[in-house]
Copies of this chain bind each other. A is one copy, B any other.
Amino acid sequence: MTPLAIPTFDDVIAAHDRIRPHIHRTPVLTSTYFNELTGAQLFFKCENFQKAGAFKVRGASNAVFGLRDDQLAKGVATHSSGNHALSLSYAAGRRGIPCNVVMPRTAPQAKKDAVQGYGGVIVECEPSTSSREAVFAEVQARTGADFVHPYNDPRVIAGQGTCSRELLEQVPGLEAVIAPIGGGGMISGTCLTVSSTAPGVKVYAAEPKNADDAYRSFKAGRIIADDAPDTVADGLKVPLKDLTWHFVSRHVTDVFTATEQEIIDAMKLTWKRMKIIIEASCAVPLATILANPEVFRGRKVGVIITGGNVDLDTLPWMKG
Protein backbone atom coordinates (compact mmCIF):
# COMPACT_ATOMS: atom_id res chain seq x y z
CA MET A 1 0.00 0.00 0.00
CA THR A 2 1.19 3.48 -0.83
CA PRO A 3 0.62 6.11 1.85
CA LEU A 4 -2.83 7.60 1.65
CA ALA A 5 -3.17 11.06 0.17
CA ILE A 6 -5.50 13.52 1.90
CA PRO A 7 -8.20 14.43 -0.63
CA THR A 8 -8.96 18.09 -1.28
CA PHE A 9 -12.14 19.89 -2.32
CA ASP A 10 -10.84 19.90 -5.91
CA ASP A 11 -11.10 16.11 -5.67
CA VAL A 12 -14.74 16.48 -4.60
CA ILE A 13 -15.48 18.66 -7.62
CA ALA A 14 -13.72 16.19 -9.93
CA ALA A 15 -15.61 13.31 -8.29
CA HIS A 16 -18.94 15.07 -8.80
CA ASP A 17 -18.26 15.60 -12.50
CA ARG A 18 -17.16 11.98 -12.84
CA ILE A 19 -20.08 10.32 -11.06
CA ARG A 20 -22.97 12.62 -11.99
CA PRO A 21 -24.22 10.37 -14.84
CA HIS A 22 -24.34 7.41 -12.47
CA ILE A 23 -26.01 8.81 -9.36
CA HIS A 24 -29.17 10.67 -8.38
CA ARG A 25 -29.14 14.20 -7.07
CA THR A 26 -31.31 13.06 -4.18
CA PRO A 27 -34.15 15.20 -2.83
CA VAL A 28 -34.20 17.04 0.50
CA LEU A 29 -37.37 16.37 2.48
CA THR A 30 -38.81 18.27 5.43
CA SER A 31 -41.32 17.23 8.06
CA THR A 32 -43.58 19.59 9.95
CA TYR A 33 -43.99 16.89 12.58
CA PHE A 34 -40.25 16.54 13.26
CA ASN A 35 -39.71 20.30 13.17
CA GLU A 36 -42.35 20.71 15.85
CA LEU A 37 -41.00 17.79 17.86
CA THR A 38 -37.41 19.07 17.87
CA GLY A 39 -37.85 22.82 17.66
CA ALA A 40 -35.25 22.78 14.89
CA GLN A 41 -35.64 23.12 11.13
CA LEU A 42 -34.53 19.75 9.81
CA PHE A 43 -33.63 19.08 6.18
CA PHE A 44 -33.33 15.39 5.39
CA LYS A 45 -30.94 14.62 2.53
CA CYS A 46 -32.44 11.38 1.27
CA GLU A 47 -29.65 9.10 0.16
CA ASN A 48 -32.02 6.21 0.80
CA PHE A 49 -33.38 7.18 -2.65
CA GLN A 50 -29.85 7.03 -4.09
CA LYS A 51 -28.83 4.44 -6.69
CA ALA A 52 -28.17 1.10 -4.95
CA GLY A 53 -30.08 2.55 -1.99
CA ALA A 54 -27.24 4.34 -0.23
CA PHE A 55 -24.78 7.25 -0.35
CA LYS A 56 -21.92 4.77 -0.70
CA VAL A 57 -22.51 4.63 -4.43
CA ARG A 58 -20.94 8.09 -4.62
CA GLY A 59 -17.52 7.04 -3.35
CA ALA A 60 -17.62 3.64 -5.05
CA SER A 61 -18.51 5.22 -8.41
CA ASN A 62 -15.74 7.75 -8.04
CA ALA A 63 -13.22 4.95 -7.53
CA VAL A 64 -14.57 2.79 -10.36
CA PHE A 65 -14.93 5.53 -12.95
CA GLY A 66 -11.53 6.94 -12.03
CA LEU A 67 -9.69 3.71 -12.90
CA ARG A 68 -7.18 3.83 -15.72
CA ASP A 69 -7.95 1.74 -18.81
CA ASP A 70 -5.15 -0.71 -17.95
CA GLN A 71 -6.80 -1.43 -14.58
CA LEU A 72 -10.20 -2.35 -15.97
CA ALA A 73 -9.66 -6.01 -16.84
CA LYS A 74 -8.67 -6.90 -13.27
CA GLY A 75 -11.63 -5.00 -11.85
CA VAL A 76 -12.20 -4.01 -8.26
CA ALA A 77 -12.54 -5.82 -4.95
CA THR A 78 -13.55 -4.96 -1.43
CA HIS A 79 -14.71 -6.36 1.86
CA SER A 80 -18.06 -5.13 3.17
CA SER A 81 -21.13 -6.64 4.70
CA GLY A 82 -23.34 -3.88 3.52
CA ASN A 83 -23.96 -0.88 1.34
CA HIS A 84 -20.40 -0.46 0.09
CA ALA A 85 -20.64 -3.99 -1.31
CA LEU A 86 -23.85 -3.12 -3.18
CA SER A 87 -22.51 0.21 -4.33
CA LEU A 88 -19.23 -1.10 -5.67
CA SER A 89 -21.07 -3.89 -7.47
CA TYR A 90 -23.46 -1.35 -8.98
CA ALA A 91 -20.65 0.93 -10.14
CA ALA A 92 -18.57 -1.94 -11.52
CA GLY A 93 -21.64 -3.22 -13.34
CA ARG A 94 -22.16 0.20 -14.92
CA ARG A 95 -18.57 0.18 -16.15
CA GLY A 96 -18.68 -3.48 -17.14
CA ILE A 97 -15.75 -4.62 -15.01
CA PRO A 98 -15.42 -7.49 -12.49
CA CYS A 99 -16.19 -6.88 -8.83
CA ASN A 100 -15.30 -9.34 -6.06
CA VAL A 101 -16.78 -8.76 -2.62
CA VAL A 102 -15.66 -10.54 0.54
CA MET A 103 -18.70 -10.76 2.83
CA PRO A 104 -19.24 -12.58 6.11
CA ARG A 105 -21.49 -15.58 5.54
CA THR A 106 -23.77 -14.10 8.24
CA ALA A 107 -24.51 -10.93 6.21
CA PRO A 108 -28.22 -10.24 5.59
CA GLN A 109 -29.59 -12.24 2.68
CA ALA A 110 -31.17 -9.10 1.23
CA LYS A 111 -27.73 -7.53 0.82
CA LYS A 112 -26.21 -10.70 -0.66
CA ASP A 113 -29.06 -10.85 -3.18
CA ALA A 114 -28.58 -7.20 -4.07
CA VAL A 115 -24.83 -7.57 -4.62
CA GLN A 116 -25.45 -10.49 -6.96
CA GLY A 117 -28.32 -8.64 -8.62
CA TYR A 118 -25.83 -5.93 -9.63
CA GLY A 119 -23.38 -8.53 -10.93
CA GLY A 120 -20.95 -8.63 -7.99
CA VAL A 121 -19.27 -11.92 -7.06
CA ILE A 122 -19.48 -12.80 -3.37
CA VAL A 123 -16.62 -14.60 -1.66
CA GLU A 124 -17.74 -15.62 1.82
CA CYS A 125 -15.62 -15.40 4.96
CA GLU A 126 -16.26 -16.08 8.62
CA PRO A 127 -17.58 -13.12 10.62
CA SER A 128 -14.18 -12.22 12.11
CA THR A 129 -11.51 -9.71 11.19
CA SER A 130 -8.83 -12.40 10.78
CA SER A 131 -10.95 -14.50 8.41
CA ARG A 132 -11.97 -11.46 6.39
CA GLU A 133 -8.36 -10.33 5.99
CA ALA A 134 -7.13 -13.78 5.00
CA VAL A 135 -9.90 -14.33 2.46
CA PHE A 136 -9.51 -10.85 1.05
CA ALA A 137 -5.73 -11.29 0.64
CA GLU A 138 -6.39 -14.47 -1.32
CA VAL A 139 -8.92 -12.72 -3.57
CA GLN A 140 -6.62 -9.81 -4.25
CA ALA A 141 -3.65 -12.06 -4.99
CA ARG A 142 -5.75 -14.16 -7.36
CA THR A 143 -7.43 -11.29 -9.25
CA GLY A 144 -5.00 -8.38 -8.99
CA ALA A 145 -8.08 -6.22 -8.50
CA ASP A 146 -7.93 -2.63 -7.31
CA PHE A 147 -8.88 -2.55 -3.63
CA VAL A 148 -11.59 0.00 -2.91
CA HIS A 149 -11.75 0.29 0.87
CA PRO A 150 -15.24 1.08 2.18
CA TYR A 151 -14.08 4.40 3.67
CA ASN A 152 -10.33 4.74 4.24
CA ASP A 153 -9.67 5.67 0.62
CA PRO A 154 -9.25 9.23 -0.68
CA ARG A 155 -11.35 8.46 -3.78
CA VAL A 156 -14.18 7.22 -1.59
CA ILE A 157 -14.05 10.21 0.76
CA ALA A 158 -14.01 12.65 -2.17
CA GLY A 159 -17.05 10.87 -3.59
CA GLN A 160 -18.96 11.04 -0.30
CA GLY A 161 -18.17 14.76 -0.17
CA THR A 162 -20.47 15.31 -3.16
CA CYS A 163 -23.48 14.60 -0.94
CA SER A 164 -23.07 17.63 1.32
CA ARG A 165 -22.06 19.69 -1.70
CA GLU A 166 -25.57 19.08 -3.06
CA LEU A 167 -27.15 19.59 0.35
CA LEU A 168 -25.51 23.01 0.80
CA GLU A 169 -26.79 24.04 -2.64
CA GLN A 170 -30.27 22.72 -1.93
CA VAL A 171 -30.67 24.39 1.49
CA PRO A 172 -29.28 27.95 1.64
CA GLY A 173 -28.45 29.15 5.13
CA LEU A 174 -27.81 25.77 6.70
CA GLU A 175 -26.19 26.08 10.13
CA ALA A 176 -25.22 22.49 10.85
CA VAL A 177 -24.98 19.06 9.23
CA ILE A 178 -25.31 15.80 11.12
CA ALA A 179 -24.56 12.34 9.77
CA PRO A 180 -24.00 8.87 11.19
CA ILE A 181 -20.44 7.80 11.85
CA GLY A 182 -19.09 4.28 11.48
CA GLY A 183 -15.74 4.17 9.72
CA GLY A 184 -16.15 7.86 9.02
CA GLY A 185 -16.30 8.00 5.21
CA MET A 186 -19.46 10.10 5.00
CA ILE A 187 -18.41 12.35 7.89
CA SER A 188 -14.98 12.86 6.33
CA GLY A 189 -16.47 13.81 2.98
CA THR A 190 -18.86 16.13 4.79
CA CYS A 191 -16.00 17.75 6.72
CA LEU A 192 -14.03 18.19 3.53
CA THR A 193 -16.84 19.92 1.65
CA VAL A 194 -18.19 21.96 4.55
CA SER A 195 -14.78 23.19 5.77
CA SER A 196 -13.89 24.20 2.21
CA THR A 197 -17.11 25.87 1.12
CA ALA A 198 -19.09 26.79 4.24
CA PRO A 199 -16.68 26.86 7.18
CA GLY A 200 -19.26 28.42 9.51
CA VAL A 201 -21.45 25.32 9.27
CA LYS A 202 -20.96 22.86 12.14
CA VAL A 203 -20.50 19.15 11.45
CA TYR A 204 -21.87 16.72 14.03
CA ALA A 205 -21.42 12.96 14.05
CA ALA A 206 -23.99 10.52 15.48
CA GLU A 207 -23.08 7.07 16.70
CA PRO A 208 -24.70 4.12 18.48
CA LYS A 209 -23.73 4.04 22.17
CA ASN A 210 -23.06 0.33 21.62
CA ALA A 211 -20.39 1.11 19.01
CA ASP A 212 -19.03 4.39 20.32
CA ASP A 213 -15.44 4.17 19.15
CA ALA A 214 -15.68 7.50 17.31
CA TYR A 215 -17.12 9.17 20.42
CA ARG A 216 -14.36 7.81 22.62
CA SER A 217 -11.69 8.56 20.02
CA PHE A 218 -12.97 12.12 19.62
CA LYS A 219 -12.91 12.72 23.38
CA ALA A 220 -9.49 11.06 23.81
CA GLY A 221 -7.85 12.71 20.82
CA ARG A 222 -6.62 9.44 19.35
CA ILE A 223 -8.15 6.43 17.57
CA ILE A 224 -9.69 3.92 19.97
CA ALA A 225 -11.22 0.82 18.39
CA ASP A 226 -14.30 -1.02 19.62
CA ASP A 227 -14.11 -4.59 20.71
CA ALA A 228 -16.73 -6.48 18.67
CA PRO A 229 -19.55 -3.93 18.98
CA ASP A 230 -23.14 -5.10 18.69
CA THR A 231 -25.78 -2.67 17.44
CA VAL A 232 -28.93 -2.64 15.33
CA ALA A 233 -27.19 0.05 13.26
CA ASP A 234 -25.12 -2.59 11.52
CA GLY A 235 -23.50 -0.17 9.08
CA LEU A 236 -21.79 1.64 11.96
CA LYS A 237 -19.78 -1.12 13.62
CA VAL A 238 -16.51 -0.45 11.84
CA PRO A 239 -13.67 1.61 13.38
CA LEU A 240 -12.10 4.90 12.29
CA LYS A 241 -8.88 4.66 10.27
CA ASP A 242 -6.04 7.12 9.71
CA LEU A 243 -7.61 9.01 6.81
CA THR A 244 -11.04 9.41 8.36
CA TRP A 245 -9.50 10.27 11.73
CA HIS A 246 -7.67 13.10 9.95
CA PHE A 247 -11.02 14.74 9.14
CA VAL A 248 -12.92 13.78 12.28
CA SER A 249 -10.21 15.09 14.60
CA ARG A 250 -9.93 18.43 12.76
CA HIS A 251 -13.42 19.36 11.64
CA VAL A 252 -16.11 17.65 13.71
CA THR A 253 -17.70 19.90 16.34
CA ASP A 254 -19.08 17.09 18.48
CA VAL A 255 -20.03 13.42 18.49
CA PHE A 256 -23.34 12.31 20.04
CA THR A 257 -24.45 8.80 20.88
CA ALA A 258 -27.85 7.08 21.04
CA THR A 259 -29.03 3.91 22.74
CA GLU A 260 -30.40 0.95 20.80
CA GLN A 261 -33.94 1.78 21.89
CA GLU A 262 -33.56 5.44 20.89
CA ILE A 263 -32.31 4.35 17.46
CA ILE A 264 -35.16 1.90 16.91
CA ASP A 265 -37.75 4.43 18.09
CA ALA A 266 -36.37 7.12 15.76
CA MET A 267 -36.29 4.68 12.85
CA LYS A 268 -39.89 3.59 13.36
CA LEU A 269 -41.07 7.16 13.88
CA THR A 270 -39.43 8.20 10.61
CA TRP A 271 -41.16 5.37 8.75
CA LYS A 272 -44.46 6.28 10.39
CA ARG A 273 -44.41 10.04 9.94
CA MET A 274 -42.28 10.60 6.82
CA LYS A 275 -43.36 7.44 4.97
CA ILE A 276 -39.81 6.68 3.89
CA ILE A 277 -37.79 3.52 4.44
CA ILE A 278 -34.56 4.29 6.26
CA GLU A 279 -32.00 1.94 7.74
CA ALA A 280 -31.38 1.81 11.47
CA SER A 281 -28.01 3.48 10.86
CA CYS A 282 -29.69 6.57 9.39
CA ALA A 283 -31.96 6.91 12.38
CA VAL A 284 -29.01 7.58 14.68
CA PRO A 285 -28.71 11.31 13.83
CA LEU A 286 -32.42 11.91 14.49
CA ALA A 287 -32.19 9.87 17.70
CA THR A 288 -29.35 12.08 18.94
CA ILE A 289 -31.19 15.26 17.94
CA LEU A 290 -34.19 14.10 19.95
CA ALA A 291 -31.91 13.29 22.90
CA ASN A 292 -30.02 16.62 22.71
CA PRO A 293 -32.69 19.15 21.75
CA GLU A 294 -30.85 22.12 23.28
CA VAL A 295 -28.01 21.74 20.75
CA PHE A 296 -30.28 21.90 17.71
CA ARG A 297 -33.30 24.01 18.73
CA GLY A 298 -33.86 27.01 16.49
CA ARG A 299 -31.19 25.96 14.02
CA LYS A 300 -31.33 24.93 10.36
CA VAL A 301 -29.86 21.45 10.39
CA GLY A 302 -29.10 19.11 7.49
CA VAL A 303 -29.61 15.46 8.40
CA ILE A 304 -28.02 12.94 6.07
CA ILE A 305 -30.23 9.88 5.60
CA THR A 306 -27.54 7.52 4.50
CA GLY A 307 -29.46 4.54 3.12
CA GLY A 308 -32.61 2.52 2.84
CA ASN A 309 -31.52 -1.08 2.38
CA VAL A 310 -33.53 -2.91 5.02
CA ASP A 311 -34.43 -6.56 5.31
CA LEU A 312 -38.21 -6.12 5.30
CA ASP A 313 -38.74 -9.55 6.84
CA THR A 314 -36.92 -8.77 10.10
CA LEU A 315 -37.67 -5.29 11.37
CA PRO A 316 -35.91 -4.33 14.58
CA TRP A 317 -39.09 -3.38 16.48
CA MET A 318 -40.48 -6.84 15.83
CA LYS A 319 -37.56 -8.73 17.30
CA GLY A 320 -37.42 -10.36 20.69
Binding site for B on A (CB under 8 A): 27, 29, 48-49, 53, 110, 268, 271-272, 274-278, 308, 312-313, 315, 317-318
Partner of A275, one of B49, B110, B318: B49
CB distance from A1 to the nearest CB of B (A): 36
Q: Which of B27, B49, B271, B313 contacts A277 (CB 8 A)?
A: B271
Closest to A307 in B: B275
Q: Which residues of B are found within 8 Å of A312, using beta-carbon distances? A: 268, 271-272, 315, 317
Cβ contacts under 8 Å, A275 to chain B: 48-49, 53, 276-278, 308
Q: Please, how many angstroms separate the alpha-carbon atoms of A87 and B228 in the complex?
A: 47
A317 in contact with B308 given A275-B276, A276-B277 (CB within 8 Å): no
List, sorted by A's number, 17 A–B pairs whose CB atoms are closer than 8 Å.
Answer: A27-B27, A29-B49, A48-B275, A49-B274, A49-B275, A53-B275, A110-B272, A268-B312, A271-B312, A272-B312, A275-B276, A275-B277, A276-B277, A277-B277, A313-B318, A315-B315, A318-B318
B308 and A313 form a contact (CB under 8 A): no
Could you tell me the distance in whole angstroms from the C-beta of A135 to the nearest C-beta in chain B?
A: 29
- Chain B residue at minimal CB-CB distance from A267: B312
CB distance from A22 to the nearest CB of B (A): 12
Roughly how many angstroms separate A48 CA and B315 CA in the complex, as a whole number? Answer: 21
What residue in chain B is nearest A117 (Cβ atoms)?
Answer: B33
User: Which residues does chain B contribute within 8 Å of A318, judged by CB atoms?
Assistant: 313, 318
Closest to A268 in B: B312
If A271-B277, A276-B276, A313-B318 are given as contacts, then 19 extra A-B residue pairs at C-beta distance below 8 Å, sorted by A number, are A27-B27, A29-B49, A49-B274, A49-B275, A53-B275, A110-B272, A268-B312, A271-B312, A272-B312, A275-B277, A275-B278, A275-B308, A276-B277, A277-B277, A312-B315, A312-B317, A313-B317, A315-B315, A318-B318
Tell me the bound Cα distance from A48 to B273 in angstroms: 10
**Cα–Cα, bound, A13→B285 (Å):** 42
Contacts of A49 on B, CB cut-off 8 Å? Answer: 29, 274-275
Alpha-carbon separation in the docked complex, A35 to B312 (Å): 22
Bound-state CA distance A313–B317 (Å) is: 8
Q: CA A29 – CA B117 in complex, angstroms?
A: 23
Distance A278 CA – B275 CA, assembled complex (angstroms): 7
Taken together as a complex, chains A and B put the C-alpha atoms of A271 and B315 apart, in Å, by: 13
